[in-house]
Structure 1
Amino acid sequence: MKQGLGTQLRHLIELLDGAVDAAYGEAGLAYRPRYTPVMRVLAAHGSLTVGRIAELAGITQPAVTQTLALMKADKLVSITASDSDARQRVVRLSAHGVSLLDRLRDCWDATRQAADSLDAELPYPLSLCLHEAIEALRRQSFGDRIRAARRGQADAHSRPDTAPDLAPSPHLESE
């Protein structure tokens, strides 16, 4: 039976994140792969609001908020109220977070090389396929695509010339 898209994506993430997580452990780092987009943005830009981190990292604000809660518990970031707007939180790397950057960059470089190796082995680079899939979903969300498919099914079932044939197959009757 062919696996669905969601099942395949979850399995791919398990394979990738499991290996990356193990690589951090082998490097002596207590660090989760999900921290990387946030860590990279903070390392490059310094103090930022949660919304700006989400924008620069290319992930949703709720995902950033959840990740920051874990990073704060691991003492990688400090989070304070903004001086200009107390409703906004400003995030920066903690001293501990900064102290890990050189070792993390080594891990990130090895991970990039491994990803390049995987891309080279495939008939179509996974990184390019993922980029194109994300762009296609920005143009038309998966939810919109599901709704369109449902409308198409409803339309097909309501038109007599395209309604599914419910008569028994003659091949099945003769067997």
Structure 2
Amino acid sequence: MKQGLGTQLRHLIDLLDGDVAQQYKDAGLDYRPRYTPIVRALEALGTASIGQLADAAGITQPAATQTVNLMKKDGLVAAQPGPDGRQRLVTLSAQGRALLPALKACWAATQAAAEGLDAQLAMPLSRIVDEAILALEEQSFHARISEARTRLVPASQPKGNKT
């Protein structure tokens, strides 16, 4: 039986993230792959609000908030109220800054491995993912499912009826 797209993508992410996480352990780092977009954003921005981090990292604000909270528990970032009291301003802690050289070495190895994987495939995975993101930004997967449902479900059959 062929796996569905969601199952395939989750499996791919598990394979990639698991091995990236192992690389950090092998390097003696207590660090999660999900921290990388936030660390890179903070390295570039210095101090940033959660909204700015979410935008720079390409993730949602709730995901940025959750990741920053985990990073704070691990001592990698510090957060303080912004001038208006509504925003939290986040910076890399001294511990987070101290990890940068080792992280950069891991990131370089990961990038080289990704390029090697891309070279082995008929079409680079990074290109396929970029194209998929662009296509889904033009028309959401929800809209595509709705269109498919309209084509596949006879008009006389109620949409909730499973026959």
TM-score class, shorter: over 0.9
Aligned to 1:8: 8
Secondary structure class of the residue paired with 2:123:
coil
Percent of aligned pairs with the same amino acid:
56
Unaligned runs of 5+ in 2: 157-163
The one-letter code sitting in structure 2 at the alignment partner of 1:36 is T
Aligned to 1:115: 114
Secondary structure class of the residue paired with 1:129:
helix
Distance (Å, rounded) in 2 between the aligned partners of 1:140 and 1:73: 38
Unaligned runs of 5+ in 1: 160-175
Greater C-alpha radius of gyration:
1
- Tell me how large the CA RMSD over aligned residues is: 1.0
Displacement after TM superposition at 1:14 (Å): 0.7
Displacement after TM superposition at 1:158 (Å): 2.7
Aligned to 2:160: none
Aligned to 1:75: 75
Displacement after TM superposition at 1:149 (Å): 1.6
Q: Deviations over 1:35-61 (max 9, x none)?
A: 001111101110001111111111111
Aligned to 1:169: none
Equivalenced residue count is 156
Displacement after TM superposition at 1:145 (Å): 1.3
Aligned to 2:31: 31
2:106 aligned with 1:100:
no
Secondary structure class of the residue paired with 1:79:
strand
Q: Deviations over 1:131-161 (max 9, x none)?
A: 110111111111111122222223xx137xx
Distance (Å, rounded) in 1 between the aligned partners of 2:137 and 2:130: 11
Distance (Å, rounded) in 1 between the aligned partners of 2:74 and 2:140: 35
Aligned to 2:155: 158
Displacement after TM superposition at 1:125 (Å): 0.2
Distance (Å, rounded) in 2 between the aligned partners of 1:27 and 1:52: 30
Distance (Å, rounded) in 2 between the aligned partners of 1:102 and 1:51: 26
